[in-house]
Amino acid sequence: MSARVARAGWAWGSWGRRAASSLREPPPDAVDVAELLRNASSAEEGAQEAVARRPPSRCSVLLFPGQGSQMVGMGGGLLAFPRVRQLYEAAHRVLGYDLLELCLRGPQEDLDRTVHCQPAIFVASLAAVEKLHHLQPAVIENCVAAAGFSVGEFAALVFAGAMEFSEGLYAVKVRAEAMQEASEAVPSGMLSVLGQRQSNFSLACMEAQEHCRSLGIENPVCQVSNYLFPDCRVISGNFEALQFLRKNSAKYHFRRTKMLPVSGGFHTCLMEPAVEPLVKILGTINIKKPLVAVHSNVSGHKYKDPQHIRRLLGQQVVSPVKWEQTMHSIYKRKKGTEFPSTFEVGPGRQLGSILKNCNGQAWKSYSHVDVMQTNTDPDHRGS
């Protein structure tokens, strides 16, 4: 069995063997199929050397979206593909509610709640991987790197064999519940800001904090929480701070601002209460070295080992998502070198739009694996 073919299995066999019991207790042990795949792949002589010799144009990169990309109806275009229904059935057992019904029927306001949308995006993204595996198995076999935006990082790690599906989903459940609770403690949100060369994000955040203090708000928060592409950031913080930035956008040379459909100021110190529950559950999960390079949101670089994964996943909820840096790390290459094919697996096309603004040449080989429609081929968005 090749390392890349082994990767395509990413723990299918142990779906649903862990049942969520409580926020604090991990699911019981189960057969670790990903480890069996790892053993099979490591037994193949010269597998890594073969990957290294493969031309970049024959390689692929998978990108997993994050919170904010959810929409009612997602998953409906995946149910005809093998094992997708089993995936949602397993999710039902882990989560304790019918995730597929919520995704297909909504309502949108329930799906938008952090506690629901994070598991929904995680499962839909991995279901999209199954669709891609069914239609274009070579893409999975030739994958050389993966990255996920915020909660998408958990899906990327499951795909790469670092976590078993139901354990990864349970960690996402704990993370979502803890972040939902933290977001309800302080009225906060996230503001997408398209700036320009002269935009001063640091000054804008500092003055927004001063505005909050003038309103009597103690310890106000306003900071860059996502680095998307040049001159485009997401700022998280108190609602009053974000309202101040929208009202004064011309002063800071912001071309466009838009509130994101999330329930809190994620990736800031406002999420500090969510760190301990997440770190605790990560300490109980059997995390392994990924079979394919997975890039961290915290650093933009590849994960090194299981302890590195545990440490940075815990930091991630209170640290900015360095997505622009991640794109540079994945796609940096000598002039004239071809780019790999890139597939966004999950709802929305936001990561494709960001890639286009980070690296137009890499975007030419971008495709989106639709979770809404029943197309027989991924929707190619490059030229």
Q: What are phi and psi of 27, to 5 degrees?
A: -65, 160
The helix or strand, by DSSP H or E, that contains position 5, with its residue range, turns out to be: helix 3-7
The two structure tokens encoding residue 322? 């360095």
Q: What's the length of the chain? A: 383
267 is catalytic: yes
**Cα 112 from Cα 168, distance rounded (Å):** 20
Residue 222: beta bridge partners? 237
150 is catalytic: yes
Exposed (0-12), middle (13-18) or buried (19+): which is 45, by Cβ within 10 Å? exposed
Strands, E assignment, the chain = 60-64, 143-148, 188-194, 222-229, 232-238, 256-259, 293-295, 321-322, 341-345, 366-369, 379-380
**Cα 301 from Cα 274, distance rounded (Å):** 24
Query: Among 125, 150, 263, 319, which one carries the catalytic annotation?
Result: 150
First to last CA, the chain: 35
Buried b (16+ CB within 10 A) or exposed e, 3-35: bbebbbbbbbebbbbbebeeeeebbeebebbbe
Q: How many CB atoms lie within 10 A of CB 215?
A: 11
Query: Among 116, 133, 267, 368, which one carries the catalytic annotation?
Result: 267
- Which residues does the annotation mark as catalytic? 150, 267
